[in-house]
Structure 1
Amino acid sequence: MSRDRTRGRLLRLLSLVPYLLANPGVSPEEAARAFSVDRATLERDLDLLWFCGVPPYDPFALIDVERDDEHITLSSAGYFSRPLRLTRQEAVSIAAALEALGEQMQEVEALGTLLEKVRAAVGEPVEEKQVLFAPAPADPSVFETLSACARRQVSVRITYYSASSGRLADRTIDPYRLISVGGNWYALAYCHLAGDDRLFRLDRISAAKATESPFDLRDKIETTDYERGILYTESNADKKAEVRFSPQAARWARETWPACEGEEHADGSLTLSIPYTGEAWMVRQLLGYGPAARVLAPPELVNALLQTTAELIDNYS
């Protein structure tokens, strides 16, 4: 598909969603006429809308299209029913990002127009201190430090964010090697704090400093599972969460935890036995499913989920 056709389709999709929300039950022929396309083109656009939504892009955040030969109706698309309202910080960030494009701005006239509109909306000059740029997915210096220490076989002192506990902690690790899995870099290393081998995602390491402490490399380090994308291996220290997922969420849950033992029920729901180490991590996973996931056991996880839910409601009420 050419760039012009892609751009035209994107603009049409951005207009199609609010149009369908404002005209629930509209016929396919009428909708096609409104956008000056044939019905086949409209059908392809509707097929694409199934994959559109908002973060975290799970089944409950994607647009749902209900259609037959006579009617089209959208649901789960209320976010797109009104024009986007940016905060000042968001507008400043967009302006800074557009200015960073430099000469490339001239290649797309619409970007220059957008920058002018954003500047006008901000209303005053943007100070450098107002702009906060997100760090790169993985700090190159962290990669270089870990790579060098793996070659030299010396320990590294790191500051690491643990997704399971949701906390930063300083650790000393012996990096065996670096591997790339699913678009992310990991360090396979012995963790002195855990007393066992662990995988550390490089983009969660905020600082890394080489030490002068040597370590012995094991004769054989098995990485086959990791390279196949299997990043988690159940251990005896893990707890088990018994969770029942609604029929609508069952397929998504099975794809998320394909190796977990489960029981499919007559109504289409699914109960999974999910191993976990960090309670905070498990709670965050389950919150993403909302009412589509019900924790059956253990009681402490049920209580943690209820407490976190109550805190979230209190924060946003």
Structure 2
Amino acid sequence: MTPPRRQPPESATTRLSRLLDMVPWLLAHQGVPLEDAASEFGVSTDQLVADLELLFVCGTPGGMPDDLIEADWEDGRVFLGNADYIARPLRLSVDEALALMVGLRALATTPGLVEHDAVARTLSKLEEATGAIGAPSARVQVSIDDGARASVLGRARRAVADRRRLHLAYLVPARDEVTERDVDPMRVVYLDGHWYLEGWCHRAEDVRLFRLDRIQSLEVLDVDGTPPPQAQPRDVNEALFTPGEEDLEVVVETDRAGAWIVDYYPVDRVEDLGEGHRRVTLHVSDPALVRRLAWRMGGHVRVVSPVDLATSVAVGAQEALSAYIAVPSGLET
């Protein structure tokens, strides 16, 4: 006898979508039998009860009894209360609507976007709802639209699709140097707020990620760009940064308040100095990241090497302090 095929587990997104649909429907059908409600949403009665048990501990921030959704189904009929705020249509403030419209306009200009029609329909509805109030968002689009970056993104995507090799002029922030390299493109990905080209770099003879806003020029070559068999894409669910030969090695010392950077940033070595102090070695592609970290931590993270980076951190901190201390002319008391 063939065992029954197991159903794949339900995703959190699917369940959340059902719960958001379920609340207004149950509010409009108070006292509906469990079986009828389960049939309405295409689930078993056991699943419906599990959903109601979850709704019972959901609500607005605070966690007090009056903040939580009230659900009762013990007599076989479902009653829901204290959930009107979910059943009401979402109302955006003017600032929220404008921000959403600006983002949608920027998204609509992205080359290769599959859902252009969906973006256009959503934007049209927002424009209709906001009327004259939404007009400023069209002007904001001009300031955020980056034609050069869109061009690089579009050509990189076409090179991936056509398996064409790319020639890049790429800025390496760690050395403030523009390097020339040939790359066999593998994919274009959006990670942590930036577009990246992943490909086999013939200069490094390894897979590399290139931030599109650091590509000074991009030329599509009339050469087959199929990556070699050893070129494997990295797992984007893991840390985005992996040290490369062009990255700068930095040594910093932290106290207890700065120890969290070991868990937050990919590091190479950690040495315990006692009393909560640590010496941490890490690689960075952009020294500015370390400078900003040291300034933000206010002495809890101290740069040890390289010396020129430590000096620039100290000079920048002194300049900032002087700016705070200085009294503007004409304001003396």
TM-score between the two structures when normalised by the length of structure 1? 0.49
- Is the radius of gyration larger for structure 1 or structure 2? 2
TM-score between the two structures when normalised by the length of structure 2? 0.47
Greater RCO, CA 8 A, separation 6+: 1
